[in-house]
Structure 1
Amino acid sequence: MIAAAAAGNAADLRELIQRGATLDARDASGATALLIATHENRIDAARALIEAGADVNAKDKIEDSPYLYAGARGHLEILKLTLENGADLKSTNRYGGTALIPASERGHVETVKTLIEAGIDVDHVNRLGWTALIEAVILGTGGEKHTEIVRLLIDAGANVNLADREGVSPLTHARQRGYGKIETLLVAAGAR
């Protein structure tokens, strides 16, 4: 199962499942075949496993699940499949963050839209004390993708004044980095 998932061989996976292979068997890292398929963005393999009932929330030893990994890496088609098949929007990664936080940090605009539309908490705070908005600013580039993500988060009702653990607001972070377009969006939304 693991090898077929890594290779993206959906036909082999379906045959193995039909023969009674363990759907959520794990490798040494604790990853299921579905998580392995997600790592490689093997959409057809992931679909075959999900259609057979693979657990989209099954975590490996470092707290990644197919749902969380697809969100963090911007594997949009697999993310949508996990959302359609029981993804836990409150599930968190090893940093205590939801899928929205790394998606925002990494500039995955369509992934952020999809997660917001699914109803994810836009103000979730991870163990570092950061929200998706803060990560989009402090770990982003200030470019077009991150600016659009900030706009999406604001439009979704993100608290623009929710500061990090040191009390530094998203607006202050944007100003310190010279991200003028993001600063403008934040100010227009009432940021201080």
Structure 2
Amino acid sequence: MKAVAVALALLAAGLAAPAAAQVAPAAVEAQAYQGLHRAAWRGDLPQLKALIAGGADLEARDAMGRTPLHVATYARQREAIGVLARAGARLDAFENDRYDAVTIAAVADDVPTLALLLSLGANPGQTTSRYDGTALIAAAHLGHDEVVRRLIAAGAPLDHVNNLHWTALIEAIVLGDGGPRHQRTLIALVDAGTNLQLADRQGHTPLQLATARGYTAMVEKLRAAGAR
């Protein structure tokens, strides 16, 4: 049902529904991994350290452009992430679909891995994906409220507008279900000072969008914060 709602929202905006966004390594890919990718996916720290000491390429890519650090992020191998980062692996690298590790963790609702990446110095505000979005927009879309709070605290840009002409606040409304997690996401964004008047491509404000969808709790919060 959520996929249908997303497709309808995109069609209403005059846009095609997106293809699958992030692509985690499939089982057959993971089984074929060698070197750093294999060690990162499995969290094999002794092998990872030995390969790094032997001069293995920290930025080696698989067929989808994933580095060992991307692979470790997908696999939630946090110790491997730490080893790779301390060895000099790029935390801001993009894979083929322009996702970085922060956005991968944000979409996965993986708060511990996100927290680790941010503590290691990863940038919470990179422009990512084919939609020119951010990790914050992706998390808001999905209602990953704790991820949203962590990204806000780390300084993620609140009012970035993607190429669909949507902000994190708008995505929490138009691609959300109006339920508790999307409500908490909206509250976090509003309380952080996001711009309440930035409108979509058709000129609809967040308040108008929430009202049209019958999201009463969101409407009340927006009105109380001065939205029009």
- TM norm structure 2: 0.80
Alpha-carbon deviation of 1:178? 1.4
Residues 123, 158 of structure 1: 8 Å contact kept: yes
- Answer with 178-187 or 34-43: which moved more: 34-43
Matched, 1:2 2:37: yes
Matched, 1:45 2:45: no
One-letter amino acid of the structure 1 residue matched with residue 100 of structure 2: S
Given candidates 82, 107, 110, the residue that maps to 1:75 is 110
One-letter amino acid of the structure 1 residue matched with residue 38 of structure 2: A
Report the equivalent of 2:180. Answer: 144
Given candidates 107, 125, 129, the residue that maps to 2:143 is 107
- Structure 1 unmatched runs, 5+: none
TM alignment of 1:9-48, pairs within 5 A: 9-48=44-83
Residues 68, 92 of structure 1: 8 Å contact kept: no
Q: How many residues align?
A: 192
Residues 210, 219 of structure 2: 8 Å contact kept: yes
One-letter amino acid of the structure 1 residue matched with residue 65 of structure 2: G
Residues 178, 215 of structure 2: 8 Å contact kept: yes
Q: How big is each residue's C-alpha offset from its partner over 1:87-141, in whole Å with a ceiling of 9 and x where there is no partner?
A: 2333111211111001111111111111111111111101100000000111111
Alpha-carbon deviation of 1:72? 2.6
Alpha-carbon deviation of 1:158? 0.6
Residues 105, 140 of structure 1: 8 Å contact kept: yes
Residues 142, 176 of structure 2: 8 Å contact kept: yes
Q: CA RMSD in A?
A: 1.4
Matched, 1:169 2:169: no
Q: How big is each residue's C-alpha offset from its partner over 1:22-79, in whole Å with a ceiling of 9 and x where there is no partner?
A: 1121112111000011122222222221222211101111101112212232222222
Mapped to 2, the partners of 1:9 and 1:177 lie a distance apart of 48
Residues 136, 149 of structure 1: 8 Å contact kept: yes
* Ranges of 4+ aligned residues in structure 1 off by more than 6 Å: none
Mapped to 1, the partners of 2:212 and 2:77 lie a distance apart of 40
Mapped to 1, the partners of 2:58 and 2:46 lie a distance apart of 14
- TM norm structure 1: 0.94
